[in-house]
Amino acid sequence: MNITKEQIDDLNAVVKVAITKEDYQDKVDTILKDYKKQANIPGFRKGQVPMGLIKKQYGKAVLVDEVNKLLQDNLNKYLTEEKLDVLGNPLPKQRDDFDWDKEELDFEFELGLAPDFEVSLKTKKAITHYKIVADKKMITEQVERIQKQYGKLVSKDEVGKKDEVSGKFTNEEEGIDNQTLIEMDSLKSKKAIDSLVGKKVGDVVTLKTKGLFKEDHLLSSALGIAKDKADDLNTEVTFTITEINEREPAELNQELFDKLFGKDVIKSEKELRERIAEDSEKQFEQQADQKLLNDVTEYFIENTKFDLPAGFLTKWIQMTGEKELTEEEASEEYKKSEKGLRYQLIEGKIIKDNDLQVQFDELKEFAKGFIKSQMAQFGQMDPKEEELDNIAARVLGNQDEVRRLSEQLMSQKLLNLYKEKANLKTKEVTYENFVKEVYG
C-alpha cells in the first residue's frame, strides 16, 4: 500500500491511496473459505460448494468490504502520523469507471485543512467585565419577601390593596372554572384593583383578562388554561370571592434567622442584610461571568481573521448530512454553521496554546461541587464526603454526564484565563442596571 499527499493550496489537499492484491488477498481468501464451510446452496452438501461458485457469488462483496476497511484504517493512521489537522472527514472522489478487477486499486480523497492562525488574548479593545452589586433597595425587597413568605395569614372582612384573595374565576363560553388565589400586589389593572377593594366574601366581581396582571404568565395559572390561549385572551370573567387574608410579615427575630440559616448563624437584621448581599452577589457573579464569556467569544470571532476551505466544507455538508442536499441548500447550511466552526477552531487554538487540560481528579471535584450545590437547594446543607464521592462516581459513570461536566469545567478554565490575560475593564452596576444595559 502506498499513500501520498498532493497539496492543492494552504487549505486543500488530495490524498492518494494505492492498494495492491498483496494488501488484501489473504484476508479475502480466509473469509471466502469460511463462507465455503457455512454456505447452503441448493444442489450441494454443506461445505462442498465449489470455491469458484463461492467467489462468483460473494467474492466482489467481500473484496469491497475488506478494501474499505483497509482504506479507513490506513487513512486515519496516515492523517495521525502526518499530524494533518483536517476539518470534517476526507471525501472520496467519485469515479464512475472504477474497476474492482484491476491488480492495483487507486483511490483519491479530498481534504479540508484547518487554517494556521494566531490568537492574541490581550485584546486591543477593552472588554467590559461587570461586577454586579446588591444595592440597598434590592436587599430591602428581599428582606420584605422573606418576611412575607414566613409571615402568618390573618382573616379579613374586606379586601385591601395588600391582601390575598381566594376565589373562583368563571367564564362558561371559554371553559373557565378555576379556584385560585390572587395577591393584590400582582394586579396591574387599576380598574380591577378598584373593583376588588372593599368587597367581601361571597361578592362577585367582573374583571377583564387583558392586562389584568403585572406579569402576563400569571393569567394562565389564575384561569386554569393553557398559556398560549391565555396570551391571546381578551374577554371578561367573573370572580367569586371565597376568602380574604392579610399576610402579616414575620418578625425579624432569632427564630426566623435560625429557620433560614441554622442556629445562631445570623444574629441580627444587619447580619441578615449582609448575608443576603453576599449570597445575591455570588449568584450575580455567575451571570456577569457568562456575559464576559459571551463577549470575549464574540470579540475573538470578529477579530481573529483566517480563511476556511469553504468549497470543501460545503461539499462535505452536502454529502454527509442525514438527507441529501442540493448545492444551494448545503451552501446555506455552511453559512449558518460558519460562525460556530470559527469559534471551535479559535477555542481549540487557545486551549492548545495555553495547555488547558481537564484531569479526572479535578473533574471529580468539579462534579462534587455541582452535586453539593444541587443538594443545598433541597435543604441538604452539609452532606458527608463519602456521600458526595458515591454520587460523583455514579454521575461520572455516565459518558454523557462526563462530556457535559468536562465542557463546563473547560469553560471555567477559559473564563479564568480571560480574566487573567485579556484586556478587561471592570464596571460596577446594580442588578437592575445590569439588566437594562445587557438586555435593554
Q: Tell me the Cα Rg of the chain.
A: 34
* Angstrom distance (rounded) from CA 103 to CA 22: 9
CA distance 152 to 147: 9
pLDDT of res. 129: 96
- Name the stretches of the chain with pLDDT < 70: 379, 381
Non-local CB neighbours of 6 within 8 Å, separated by 6+ positions: 13, 14, 15, 16
Q: Are strands 127-133 and 424-430 parallel, antiparallel or unpaired?
A: parallel
At 403, list the grid cell: 462530556
Grid cell for residue 174: 371559554
CA 387 vs CA 86, 134, 232, 361: distances in Å: 44, 34, 49, 17
Pairing of strands 236-248, 104-113: unpaired
In this prediction, residue 292 carries a pLDDT of: 96
State residue 285's pLDDT score: 93
Looking at residue 381, what is its pLDDT?
Answer: 66
pLDDT at residue 380 in the model:
74
DSSP state of 184: G
Q: How many whole angstroms from its chain centre is CA 93?
A: 36
Bridge partner list, 152: 248
pLDDT for the residue numbered 218: 95
H or E element at residue 258: helix 254-261
pLDDT digit string (tens) for 332-387? 999 999 999 999 999 999 999 999 999 999 999 999 998 988 887 776 767 888 99
